[in-house]
Amino acid sequence: MNPQVAGLQVALRAHGLYAGAIDGVAGPGTAAAIRTFQGRAGLQVDGIAGIRTRQALGPLGRPLLGRRILRPGAVGWDVSVLQFLLRRAGAHAGGIDGRFGPATRKALVRFQRRSRLAADGLAGPATLAVLDPSGRQAPLQLPTRSVRDSLAYWAGHYGVDASLVRALAWQESGHQNHVVSTAGALGVMQVTPATWDFVETVLVGRRIAHTADGNVRVGTAFLAHLLRQFRGDERLALAAYYRGPAAVRRYGVGPETSRYVANVLALKQRM
């Protein structure tokens, strides 16, 4: 269960595409509704609520919880998630509709008083940290690690061959976090903003600090996802990391991507 998914479900319901429970579970009904919406909106139909899909959903498709302080009158994805969390905490019996009205404020104040927080009716970092102890609403704070330590740690965490992760990072940036590509890819793993958003929203369910360690985590989590998608085939997963999974499925690997994959796999033998 991921509270951010509740925001997606409310947005899809507003478009008449989701009739299930607002439960934060990305089940078959939610996935089918996303695909239907993407098809109608002329987007890539992949069943993933990435940044373009959420933008197309309109006011209820953004922003993610934790990007702003919520106050009465606010409308958005984050309000839906707040209402979901308040209901889960037993403080809110009203609807979950993404609109911060009197009932939501009353529920929030009730929760704040019960939790011995400042009962100001505003959902800021302190309130959200208590409301959702999982940390999905705030950047994850991690101890400072060297890049090499981060690569080893997150490879183990996500069950990916550490030599493969080190090789990919070397191919992408030479293990340097200051590198920025002409396409806007960032850091050690050369992560694009869209991929970072996808990993936060879909794979991890929480915000990830924009540090070298966070960059390694995002890239490794995405690689692990691609390995699952391509049934453990490292060649196809690396191709998808470079070219995008949809392009690999539709057009294959291609000469340029084949050279990239060969370089990474050769590096893996020396890492």
Mind telling me the catalytic residues? 172
Separation of alpha carbons 141 and 127, rounded Å: 17
Which residues, including other chains, have CB under 8 Å from residue 39's CB and lie 6 or more apart? 45
What are 137's two structure tokens? 């609403």
**Contact predicate 230/236, CB 8 Å:** yes
Tell me the residue type at 90: G
207: left (phi over 0), alpha (psi -120 to 50) or beta: beta
- Beta-strand runs (E) in the chain: none
DSSP string, 177-202: TT-B-TT--BTTTTB-HHHHHHIIII
Find the radius of gyration of the CA atoms of the chain. 20
The full 3-state SS of 145-161, as one line of letters, equals CCHHHHHHHHHHHHCCC
